Amino acid sequence: MGSIISIQNCFRLLAGFVLAACLAMSASAQTAPLVMKVGTATINDSQHQWMKLYAAQVEKNSNGRIKVELYPASQLGSIQRMIEGTQFGSIQGFVGPPEFFAGIDSRYQVLGAPGVFNDVAHASRTIQDAEFIAAFLALGANKGLKGVGLFLYGGPMIFNTRIPVRKLADLRGMKIRVFASEMQMKQIRLLKATPVPMTLGEVAPALQQGSIDGQMSTGSVLLPMHFNDVARYVFETNHAIVTSMTVLSKSWYDKLAPDLQKVVSDAGQDVTREMAQATLDSLARQKEGWVKAGGEFNQPTAEEKAQLMKLMLPIGAEVTADKPEEKALYELLQKVAKRSE
């Protein structure tokens, strides 16, 4: 009889241990932070810096309930793979120029329209306008994307080439890498060159192999990605501005508690405001760094710039003319740009 009671006590004791272990595991699971993976194609530039500031703010304001993991330099795949991953929820966020989303919604390309902004400071003021931000970040909601940040990526538009470009005519016949948007491809065609849509990770090898002659981009990406090793010439046309945006996986965002939704959304706007002046201040350093690294820096003459803008100014209206929703967003951009002068 005593043995039976002893065995029963052992079973009770074992059951207690199992229950305690299960409760501990459950408590641990409940307190484990949500992992938020955010990727971008670049490194050590304004996109990467934006991500770092965003991660710090999200982790702080969520009291550690969200842990942000950063993956610069295309560690999570090509730009298109990262966008698709964000749409389907395999990663939680992506940072990159909105033109790369043009295949999802052509309205994303309107910020690449030439001649909208007088200079980078004007562009920065325009894209921080509350009316425009609300409209632009709402894009992609029906395609699995939640916009939380829109910011100035770098300086004016430039051409970075393997051989010297010291006047506008030198671009004729060149194969120039662009973002995969009609807004950019049309610009290159008007310059009598050939546009080659390509993701960032492919550009340096293509330049090295000579399959492209240059890229239309912004100066802020050149030194961090070591383009001075393969294409040391820069021709700054300043006919458009490159911006960047942050999108989250909408399926992931929708599952968050309301207070955490507010944390990840508010952090996007807070970091954008924090980054604005720092980005403007870095432009002069970019040029100095390029020249120190052995790069050559040229600009068109006043006559050439006037010729270029005459070609470029109609592009925004022409590209958006047959798409009512895209046309409406482009007109909103123009209106906001006018009042931000």
Amino acid at 281: D
Q: Where are the domains of the chain?
A: 33-339
E strand map for the chain: 34-40, 66-71, 93-96, 145-161, 175-178, 194-197, 214-218, 233-249, 296-298
- What is the per-residue pLDDT for 7? 53
Of 67, 43, 333, the C-alpha closest to 183 is 333
Q: Could you report the per-residue pLDDT of 304-333, keeping only the tens digit for each?
A: 999 999 999 999 999 999 999 999 999 999
Are residues 218 and 153 in contact, defined by beta-carbon separation less than 8 angstroms?
Answer: yes
Query: Does the pLDDT of residue 50 top 90, yes or no?
Result: yes
Q: What is the mean pLDDT of residues 85-110?
A: 97
Which pTM does this prediction carry? 0.88
Q: Could you report the per-residue pLDDT of 59-91, keeping only the tens digit for each?
A: 999 999 999 999 999 999 999 999 999 999 999
Amino acid at 240: A
Q: What is the mean pLDDT of residues 267-287?
A: 87
Q: Could you report the per-residue pLDDT of 137-168, keeping only the tens digit for each?
A: 999 999 999 999 999 997 789 999 999 999 99
CATH of domain 33-339: 3.40.190.170
Q: Which residues neighbour 290 within 8 Å (Cβ) at sequence distance 6 or greater?
A: 219, 222, 223, 228, 234, 297
- What is the per-residue pLDDT for 302? 96
Cα separation, 339 vs 341, in Å, equals 6
For 70, 84, 202, 205, 216, the CA distances from 81, given in Å and listed in that order, are 16, 5, 14, 19, 22
Query: Regarding beta strands 145-161 and 194-197, do their DSSP bridges make them parallel or antiparallel, or are they unpaired?
Result: unpaired
